[in-house]
Amino acid sequence: MSVVETVIQSNLKQILETIHLIARECGRTTAPRLVAVSKTKPSNLILECYQAGQKHFGENYVQELEEKGAELRDLQDIKWHYIGQMQSNKISKICAVPNLYCIETLDNEKHAQLLEKEMNKRGLKVKVLIQVNTSDEEQKGGLQPNEAKELGKFVDEQCAHLEFSGFMTIGSVAGSSMTPNPDFEKLREVRDDFAKEVGRGVEGFELSMGMSDDFETAIRQGSTNIRVGSKIFGPRLPKK
């Protein structure tokens, strides 16, 4: 690592400090995981972040994930999260990415079956979160709460190579300035109901919620996995 800290490394440090501070304030014994969302940003900036200790990175576009996964394949403890919309014809490409750790955006059974088949073929396992459309917006991916719980059970019971790990939401723009955030409330309810229905503890299931503008609130509402992009890597240019 260079002796002089880069802007990205300093951003990362600040976010991590905030995360730990809030987690402590809430009396939580473990701080949520930080996923650094690197979409549209090049591998050399990911490497900067990695060299400052960050291991989890999130990507939205399959082609970018493939390219960066290949470029950074020697970093054996890097952990990739796929956080974009799923498409049947891209699932095999996602599964082929070295060090794929978690798919956060599963929202239908057909894709679950395809994922299971691909991971089985490779003899590997991957964590899976079910995306919930907590804000009920047409343009957003994700399932309604009841459907999400059903799919969670399907993955949990029927997919040996998928490790069902919890639920994810993006939430509405309006909700992101509210405290408490109603989308985060809803996701927590889905998780708590699910845990009750399957007779397990809520600690066994993740809540992936909170981004640059609302991660502090998300932590206070129980997030275990926050996804922060622009506050680490700077603003993104609009995708062409």
Ligand X SMILES: *Cc1c(COP(=O)(O)O)cnc(C)c1O
In the complex, the residues that contact ligand X under the rule CB under 6 A are 37, 39, 60, 83, 170, 211-213, 227-231
- Quick one: 37 or 106, whose CB is closer to ligand X? 37
- Quick one: 106 or 161, whose CB is closer to ligand X? 106
The DSSP call for residue 84 is S
Q: How far is the CB of 123 from ligand X (least distance, A)?
A: 29
Residue nearest to ligand X (CB): 229
- Quick one: 39 or 191, whose CB is closer to ligand X? 39
What does each C-alpha distance from 233 to 7, 228, 229 come to in angstroms?
Answer: 8, 9, 6
What does each C-alpha distance from 145 to 102, 152, 167, 186, 193 come to in angstroms?
Answer: 21, 10, 10, 8, 10
32 φ/ψ angles, rounded to the nearest 5 degrees? -65, 155
Q: How far is the CB of 131 from ligand X (least distance, A)?
A: 9
Q: How far is the CB of 175 from ligand X (least distance, A)?
A: 14
- Quick one: 91 or 161, whose CB is closer to ligand X? 91
CB 13 within 8 A of CB 52: yes
Query: Which are the contacts of 4, defined by CB distance < 8 A and separation ≥ 6?
Result: none
CB 195 within 8 A of CB 180: no
Q: How far is the CB of 95 from ligand X (least distance, A)?
A: 19
- Quick one: 39 or 220, whose CB is closer to ligand X? 39
Q: How far is the CB of 64 from ligand X (least distance, A)?
A: 12
161 φ/ψ angles, rounded to the nearest 5 degrees? -100, 5
Q: How far is the CB of 12 from ligand X (least distance, A)?
A: 13
Q: How big is the chain, counted in residues?
A: 240
For residue 142, which amino acid is it?
G
Q: Where are the beta strands (DSSP E) in 107-168?
A: 126-131, 162-168
- Quick one: 170 or 219, whose CB is closer to ligand X? 170
